[in-house]
Amino acid sequence: MSDAWGWPREHEWTIREEALDPDIIRFQEALLSLGNGFLGTRSILEEGYPESYPGTYFAGVYDKSGGQSYAIVNGPNPLVTEFSIDGRRLAADEMEVIKHRRYLDMRKAALYRRTLFSHDGRRFEYRSMRFFSMHDMHVGVIRVSLRCFDADASVKLTLGLDGTVRNEQHAVGGPRKHYRVTEASATKDGLCYLEARTNDRGIIVGMAKALEFDLEVHETGPEVDMRSDHDSTAIECSFQARRGEVYQFDQYLAIHTSRETEGGIRAACLRTLDGARATGVAALLSDQEECWEKKWQIADIYIDGDDEVQQSLRFNMYHLLISVAPQDIDASVAPRTCPGSGTRGTSSGIRRSSCSPSSCMRTLSWPDTS
């Protein structure tokens, strides 16, 4: 069974966001978090939002940077994806949002979104799907699409890697950036790369992103440009969109750190990226579904007759499952699970923390956003 949006009605397997509310947007970002044990991400809107808090955290990557204790590092943001329509950003702080929905499918740890924007009497539909692979912990996928309902438009798609993100929460003192960007670059063929090193322990984090799209959709092909500064890098893709047509773009992510990867981090990212592109989004999603099916076959507890309790239990188990590091990574489950910068601890917590797994369990209770 599906709803009016064409999405499943299976309440006990999904967590939904039915509207954009600035007062609870950070809460929703945590609620809809994605991860695969190697990394966890807060589910921000791809294009950003003024009240948003980007968060990307890696198992075992802690740093102090002059603070009182070690904190799990909030690394560079790999999700940056932004459309501009005739010079105006497709974003909730610049256009009216007519309808909005996101849902987290806990069966396969994938986040789906549809937002209908309006500006000057013209409507624009934005859709996205993203996940971080449980089959290959270094791979992520972001698929986005745009449709202009009422008129042709000049469109620019900007995608990139943002190395300005920092940890906002500390026991003492203000926000702190626990890393420095050492490389930020982009190429005309739609690939960008960013590398950073943590301040105290010197852990290297590398991120590569590649863009693919259907050339047949674009008669003359898009105009591709690139820009990079000290802390960020981006690809800009400009094209003419025809009224009513759907334009789809796939982004492949490859992320490695020096904790689990030997040799050059950039070379490892590019190899992973090549493999992901050769596999394709459909096959990567199929692998994701298969891996998660096996996990749920072992972990799921079925409750008959109470969908709310069933959903609550699966929600808590889901957040634990995305926070358990693979066997070849020496890292514990963080006290607030992987997508949480509230995690702090002593230097001994850098490796096997003494925290109880029960400290990760969260009660499922969120405001009605309908």
Q: What would the pLDDT profile of 138-178 be if each residue is shown by its tens digit? A: 999 999 999 999 999 999 999 999 999 999 876 666 789 99
Q: What is the pLDDT of residues 299-320, one digit of tens each?
A: 999 998 888 999 999 999 999 9
Residue 6 lies in a domain: no
Residue 58 confidence (pLDDT) above 50 = yes
Cα 49 from Cα 22, distance rounded (Å): 9
Residue 368 lies in a domain: no
Residue 1 lies in a domain: no
Residue 132 lies in a domain: yes
> How many structural domains is the chain composed of?
1
Residue 298 lies in a domain: yes
Q: What is the pLDDT of residues 239-287, one digit of tens each?
A: 999 999 999 999 999 999 999 999 999 999 999 999 999 999 999 999 9
Q: What is the pLDDT of residue 135?
A: 96
Residue 370 lies in a domain: no
Q: What is the dihedral of CA 190, 142, 260, 207, to 10 degrees?
A: 30
Q: Give just the sign of the alpha carbon dihedral 229, 233, 238, 241.
A: negative
Task: Give 335's pLDDT tier (boundaries 50, 70, 90).
Answer: low
Residue 215 tokens read as 């050339």
Q: What is the pLDDT of residue 68?
A: 73
Residue 369 lies in a domain: no
Closest CA to 274 of 180, 184, 139: 139
CATH code of the domain covering residue 283: 2.70.98.40
Domain that holds residue 46: 11-360
Q: Give just the sign of the alpha carbon dihedral 332, 336, 338, 340.
A: negative
CB 188 within 8 A of CB 281: no
Residue 5 lies in a domain: no
